[in-house]
Amino acid sequence: MDNSYHYPPDLLNLLVDAIATVNRTKRDVIVFFRGASVPQDLTDALSQKLRENPIETRKHEMARVILDRINSRGDATLAARREIVKRIVQFTNFDSCWPEDKLKARGLVSSIREVVNEKDAFTRIEKERQQERAARIALQESIRRERQERDAKIEAARKELYGLFSPELSPQARGKLLENALNSVFNAYGILVSEAFHLASHEGAGIEEQVDGVIQLKGTPYLVEMKWYNAPVGVPEISQHLVRVMGRAGVHGIVISASSYTAHAVNMAREFLQQKVLVLATLSELVHVLEQRVEMAEYWEKKILAAQLHKNPHFNPLAQS
């Protein structure tokens, strides 16, 4: 029971009548308040008046004066206000009342219990509402912070990708940056990278670097290969990745190229769809995903669906938006 509020008029009036009724004597009223931890300075004047003029001092007057004073003290008399209500609602010794006051005392105590229960129920409901509101605010704040953190990661990944196109970068430097950039891109969107992208060295004219890794989309692993060629990616380069994908049970393939693809490479990827899913993407598509704040998982899902249903491994969802 939490009666931390000031006594409202209805409860105050009931308490005045109840205290005056359950206590037989005027002296008992003073003792009642002292027992409820009411500060002595709030009862001293009435105690003196009772000694000097007991006939004109009435129990109802005493109870109202002290309760008014307790109300005016605010939080300083919070404990006393609670204790007074507690003593009344728990009062059961009605035989101590004047015989003619027993029924009245029972009725007053019962009424106070009802008022207190109603107010406690209201207080609980109000507290629950406040807790729900606080929970909603906390959830909204958490979502806002997560969104800010995610946006910051996406922006950082976008800058990393932009940095790859600097003509001042050597193939070795670009390769290392490319590893970090791809990891940052997928991590920023919460796409699980089960095997981090790493640089694999290859010799050949026009081949600057190749980065491999594994991501998971809806629980399905996709072996990802990144190629940075000066010319469009052709059949020999696609074939290398198809062999890796076929050698892994339950794994599908993604190729990301800094350049375009030859028509023969696209046709080979289309024929491979009879065996496993293979999608072809370009680095510029990923840049556009980041710039347009497109959901990365949704982007890949559309490409995969186009490959599965329409046998189009090189579908670009961004071109349709």
CATH class assigned to 169-320: alpha beta
CB 214 within 8 A of CB 223: yes
pTM confidence score: 0.56
CATH 3.40.1350.10 domain extents, the chain: 169-320
**What is the Cα–Cα distance from 297 to 218, expressed in whole angstroms?**
9
Question: pLDDT at position 230, please?
Answer: 81
Q: Which of 278, 262, 159, 267 is nearest to 222 (CA)?
A: 278
Q: From first to last of the 321 residues of the chain, give the pLDDT tens digit.
A: 444 447 788 888 999 999 999 999 999 999 999 999 899 998 888 888 888 888 888 999 999 999 999 888 888 888 888 889 889 988 999 999 999 999 999 999 999 888 887 776 556 656 767 787 888 898 899 999 998 998 898 888 888 888 888 888 877 777 777 878 888 888 888 888 877 776 665 554 444 456 678 899 988 999 998 888 888 999 998 998 899 899 889 999 999 998 899 999 999 999 999 999 999 999 889 888 988 888 999 999 999 999 999 999 999 998 865
Cα–Cα dist 82/15, whole Å:
12
pLDDT attached to residue 320: 64
Query: Beta 220-229 vs 252-257: how paired, if at all?
Result: parallel
Q: What share of the chain is helix, strand, coil (3-state, %, to 5)?
A: 65, 15, 25
pLDDT (0 to 100) of residue 106: 94
Cβ(199)–Cβ(228) below 8 Å:
no
Asked if 111 and 12 count as a contact pair (C-beta separation under 8 A), the reply is no
